[in-house]
Amino acid sequence: MTTATLQDTELAGIIESYNGVTERLKQSHELLTREVGRLHEELHEKNRELARRERLAAIGEMAAGVAHEIRNPLGGIGLYASLLERDLAELPGKLDMAKRISEGVRNLEGIVGDILAFSRDAAPKCVVSPLSKIVDNALTQCAMAVEANRVHIDVDLRLTKRILFCDPSQCERALVNLILNAVDAAGKNGHVSLREGAHREADRFAAIVVEDDGPGVRDEDLHRVFDPFFTTKDTGTGLGLAIVHRLAEANGGSVAATNRREGGAAFVLLLPLANVSEDSVVHV
Ligand code: ADP
């Protein structure tokens, strides 16, 4: 081999390894850029969540104060309205007015109850709880609304086999709020279903999907449906989903809103699974 050819080969080798190093550097640069972007997004999301929590704490404190102040006089009005109803039993025209006052008071008591439920410290009393019982109790509570709207409800049997570790009454309340919204959205003769969703951490959480065939949530509203007092309904308080969010988090879970491709909304409630099998649970 001549000296010139040797130099060419060496040069080719140097260029090749230089190219290799450059390529590897480029790849790790791209990797780092992607990782920085992801961390940036994560930080942004955490900051947003922190700001939301601070805002919620302030709103909750103020709302609880107002609700407490309203609750006592409201109780008095309710009592006097029921006494009036008794005294006016013989005067149908006036009795009707007294009944309307009582009805208004009951509505306001419902709102005050929601505000207190939202702002109350939701310290859960977690126990091993079969999901079947939580679902059954929630459906019983929704029975009147379901019947009034003649809504068809399907419940996936796989879901009812799950055993949770949670505060059963809080999770029942969360589920009731989601089902009532779904029934409301589905409307007359609509369909609502409760099914098990797929989830990355399926060994730690049960994903309960409450979906309906109503109009769905407007895309621009999806990020704020869990904000307290956000409502698109004439008579809504906008507290139902805020309560679901608070209870889900207090129980170590979460809730998310999406729209179904085939139309309608789907809310996914994640609740922690208990570390036991269905057979080892004593049903009472
Ligand atoms: P409210 O029912 O009093 O309005 P919520 O907090 O329960 O309060 O719900 C907030 C808003 O989220 C509703 O007003 C509605 O716009 C939207 N929403 C909730 N559930 C559904 C659903 N299943 N389909 C469509 N929109 C929904």
Q: Are 152 and 263 members of one domain?
A: yes
| 113 Cα: distance to centroid of ligand 1 (angstroms) | 18
CATH number at residue 181: 3.30.565.10
The DSSP secondary-structure symbol of 202 reads T
- pLDDT computed for residue 267 by the predictor: 98
Name the pLDDT band for 279 (thresholds 50, 70, 90): low
Q: Are 115 and 173 members of one domain?
A: no
Residue 151 has pLDDT above 60, yes or no: yes
Q: Whose CA is nearest to atom 14 of ligand 1?
A: 231
Element (H, E) at 131: helix 131-149
Residue 281 has pLDDT above 70, yes or no: no
Last residue of a domain, one of 60, 87, 120: 120
Question: To test the ligand 1 pocket, which listed residue (193, 223, 231, 243) has its Cβ within 8 A of the most ligand atoms?
Answer: 231
Q: Are 35 and 150 members of one domain?
A: no
Q: Between the CA atoms of 42, 45, 46 and 51, what dihedral angle is there, to the nearest 10 degrees?
A: 160
Last residue of a domain, one of 105, 120, 135: 120
Q: Are 265 and 133 members of one domain?
A: yes
Q: Are 192 and 271 members of one domain?
A: yes
The average pLDDT across 38-45 equals 93
Residues in contact with ligand 1 by the CB-under-6-Å rule are 177, 181-182, 185, 212, 214, 216-217, 225, 230-233, 236-242, 265
Name the pLDDT band for 273 (thresholds 50, 70, 90): very high
- Atom nearest to 231 CA in ligand 1: 14
How many Cβ atoms are within 10 Å of 262's Cβ, its own excluded? Answer: 8
| 149 Cα: distance to centroid of ligand 1 (angstroms) | 17
221-242 residue pLDDT tens: 998 999 888 999 988 889 999 9
CATH number at residue 60: 1.10.287
Question: Domain range for residue 38?
Answer: 1-120
- pLDDT computed for residue 166 by the predictor: 96
Whole-angstrom distance, CA of residue 225 vs CA of residue 240: 9
Worst-scoring range by mean pLDDT, 44-53, 101-110, 140-149?
A: 44-53
Q: Whose CA is nearest to atom 23 of ligand 1?
A: 182
Last residue of a domain, one of 101, 120, 139: 120
- pLDDT computed for residue 214 by the predictor: 97
Q: Are 140 and 276 members of one domain?
A: yes
The gap from C-alpha 222 to its chain's centroid, in whole angstroms, comes to 12
Given a contact cutoff of 8 angstroms between Cβ atoms, the answer to whether 249 and 259 are in contact is no
Q: Are 210 and 232 members of one domain?
A: yes
Please report the sign of the dihedral spanned by the C-alpha atoms of residue 264, residue 237, residue 155, residue 252.
Answer: positive
Q: Are 266 and 133 members of one domain?
A: yes
Worst-scoring range by mean pLDDT, 62-66, 178-182, 216-220, 274-278?
A: 274-278
Q: Are 76 and 144 members of one domain?
A: no
User: Nearest 5 degrees, angle CA 239-CA 54-CA 48?
Assistant: 95
Whole-angstrom distance, CA of residue 169 vs CA of residue 125: 9
Q: Whose CA is nearest to atom 7 of ligand 1?
A: 240
Q: Are 134 and 250 members of one domain?
A: yes
Residue 277 has pLDDT above 80, yes or no: no
With 0-12 / 13-18 / 19 or more C-beta atoms within 10 angstroms meaning exposed / middle / buried, residue 207 is: buried
Name the pLDDT band for 52 (thresholds 50, 70, 90): confident
Number of domains observed in the structure of the chain: 2
Q: Whose CA is nearest to atom 26 of ligand 1?
A: 217
Residue 84 has pLDDT above 70, yes or no: yes
Q: Are 145 and 9 members of one domain?
A: no
Given a contact cutoff of 8 angstroms between Cβ atoms, the answer to whether 244 and 230 are in contact is no
Q: Are 229 and 174 members of one domain?
A: yes
| 181 Cα: distance to centroid of ligand 1 (angstroms) | 6
